[in-house]
Amino acid sequence: MFLFLQQGSAIGAKDGRNPHLKAMEGAVKIGAHIDIKAADGSIVIGWLASQTA
């Protein structure tokens, strides 16, 4: 397992998979975020570091 920083980018709204994005005009800005490659080989997008007390 490991974490990695995914750099921000911009995509055309029409290129998105979400139907709400496809209805928008122009570009959609995607901010930088942390992803994790999990033990089962999957990638969790937008992983959030948290700690329980």
**pLDDT tens figures, 1-53:** 999 999 999 999 888 888 888 888 899 898 999 999 999 999 998 888 876 65
| Kind and range of the H or E run holding 3 | strand 2-6
- According to DSSP, residue 7 is labeled P
Domain boundaries, the chain: 2-44
Q: Where are the beta strands (DSSP E) in 8-50?
A: 9-12, 27-30, 33-37, 43-44
Residue 9 DSSP SS3: strand
CA distance 27 to 16: 10
- pTM: predicted TM-score of the whole model, two decimal places: 0.63
